[in-house]
Structure 1
Amino acid sequence: MIIGEVKNVKRYFDKDEGINKAFEFLKDIDLDNLEIGKHLIDGDKVFALVQSYDTRAESECKFESHKRYIDIQVILDGIEKIEWSPIDKLNLVEDDFSKNDKAFYKENSTSSELILHSGNFVVFYPEDGHRACIQVNTPSHVKKVVLKVELNN
């Protein structure tokens, strides 16, 4: 897992072509007017899912992980809490990797909390369980882009 500010992204990702394409998309697009939905960047290898939602109580959100894609979550507007835990510390509830590249896990007591504001990003790799969309104190509206970057196995 990596957390940082979009303005400093070059520090972290100069060597990965897929991640570079994902962040170039952010740099080249009008983020204020980015439409909700899926945006292809490099076919199924790199794409963006733009979301708009209200954050929820922690109990309504589930831990998940992915095998095929790295998740780069960028907060465009708003604030949300995301919890992180290594998947080997979580208990698998549902394996949906073959269909939707996603597995769900039971919550645990070993997670770490991240508070993300506008302009912050976090990168989750296959070993990173994450529970997103959690409210900070009270529900708030969030606009987020989740960049999906296919792993080079």
Structure 2
Amino acid sequence: MIIDKLENGAQYAALHPNFKVAFDYLLSTDLAALEVGKFDIAEGVKAIVSDKDGVTAETAGEKFECHNKNIDIQLCIRGNETMGWKPRTDCTQPKGEFNEEKDVIFYADKPDMYFSLKGGQFVIFYPNDVHAPMIGVGPIKKLVVKVAI
């Protein structure tokens, strides 16, 4: 997991071939003007924009998730978002099998820690990072960039 400010995003371009594409997009786009929805940025790089009220830690924990085929770059555009995190290797309570089509598995485990992002900050979740996003009060606008592995 990596946490930083968007203005520093370019320094992570070397970590994955499509990170440059993702961060070039994030740094050159009027993020506040993005409409809610899903769209392709480039081959292997997809985006999901949401703008909704945050939820309790308990509600977010119901979707404590990780992925096998994608790395998430989750950017808080507006609001304050708290997220739960735990290493996948420490999770022992899967809720069902891995869903290949949706690239997700959920866990009943509890996060080891919580951290918060404000507008202009991002987190990179690798497949070993189990996460519970969207914890907060009031509206949170965010962009999740899915980078195929």
Give the structure-1-normalised TM-score. Answer: 0.90
Partner residue of 2:146 out of 114, 130, 148: 148
What is the percentage of aligned positions where both structures have the same residue?
A: 34
Deviates more, 1:57-66 or 1:10-19: 10-19
TM-aligned CA deviation for residue 26 of structure 1:
1.1
Amino acid at match of 1:73: Q
Question: What secondary structure is seen at the aligned counterpart in 1 of 2:26?
Answer: helix
- Residue in 1 that maps onto 2:82: 81
- Residue in 2 that maps onto 1:35: 35
- Residue in 2 that maps onto 1:92: 94
RMSD over aligned Cα, in angstroms? 1.3
Amino acid at match of 1:131: A
In the alignment, the residues of structure 1 paired with residue 17 and residue 117 of structure 2 have an alpha-carbon distance, to the nearest angstrom, of 25
Count of residue correspondences: 146
1:21-60 → structure 2 map (5 Å cutoff):
21-43=21-43, 45-60=44-59
- Residue in 2 that maps onto 1:70: 71
- Residue in 1 that maps onto 2:12: 12
- Residue in 2 that maps onto 1:102: 104
Contact 1:70-1:124 within 8 A present in 2 as well: yes
Q: Which has the higher strand share?
A: 1
Question: What secondary structure is seen at the aligned counterpart in 1 of 2:24?
Answer: helix
Question: What secondary structure is seen at the aligned counterpart in 1 of 2:8?
Answer: helix
In the alignment, the residues of structure 1 paired with residue 95 and residue 22 of structure 2 have an alpha-carbon distance, to the nearest angstrom, of 30
Question: What secondary structure is seen at the aligned counterpart in 2 of 1:67?
Answer: coil
Structure 2's unaligned 5+ residue stretches are none
In the alignment, the residues of structure 2 paired with residue 141 and residue 96 of structure 1 have an alpha-carbon distance, to the nearest angstrom, of 30
In the alignment, the residues of structure 2 paired with residue 58 and residue 107 of structure 1 have an alpha-carbon distance, to the nearest angstrom, of 13
In the alignment, the residues of structure 1 paired with residue 88 and residue 14 of structure 2 have an alpha-carbon distance, to the nearest angstrom, of 27
Give the structure-2-normalised TM-score. Answer: 0.92
**Structure 1 moving runs of 4+ over 4 Å:** none
Contact 2:41-2:47 within 8 A present in 1 as well: yes
TM-aligned CA deviation for residue 8 of structure 1:
0.8
